[in-house]
Amino acid sequence: MDSLRLPILQDFPVPIPPLEEQDAIVAWIEEHTRNLDRSIATIRREIDLIREYRTRLVADVVTGKLDVRGLTLPAESREEAAGSPLAHAEADADESDLGEESEGEGEAAPTPLGAAEDGEDA
């Protein structure tokens, strides 16, 4: 026999469990995958929240509500970001003369523009 054709398959016996057993199988599968379903839903929600946070963060930086000048990333973050499309844009910006100099290599968190730094009043 070179191939399977419909007439051959039509005569092939296929065991089908009784409806009660089918229901029991479905119930077992649903019970044992419930935690996976919850985990997947939680992870999807967390991904949505992270994307929303990222969008908000980018908007705050672009509109000037958050000042990231002088911010230095930890070494791990720099290595991860080196392969990103933004890394090329950052490298280009570093090479161009924007008339601003870095304020140091501290690990300061970004602060809103106009906010007091180092305990000084704005």
| DSSP string of 77-122, one letter each residue | HHHHHTTSHHHHHHHHHHHS--S-----S--PPPB-TT---TT---
Using the predicted structure, report yes or no on whether residue 98 has a pLDDT greater than 70.
no
Provide the mean pLDDT of the chain.
78
- pLDDT single digits (tens) 63-95: 999 888 888 888 777 667 676 666 556 566 555
For residue 62, give the H/E element and its range.
Answer: helix 19-63
Residue with tokens 């199988």: 25
pLDDT of residue 12: 85
Of residues 103 and 9, the one with the higher pLDDT is: 9
Please tell me which residue, 13 or 42, carries the higher pLDDT value: 42
Coil, strand, or helix at residue 61?
helix
pLDDT value of position 7: 84
Its pTM stands at 0.46
Predicted confidence band of residue 102 (pLDDT cuts 50, 70, 90): very low
pLDDT of residue 100: 46
Residue 97 or 95, more confident: 95
* Four-residue CA torsion sign, 88, 90, 95, 98: positive
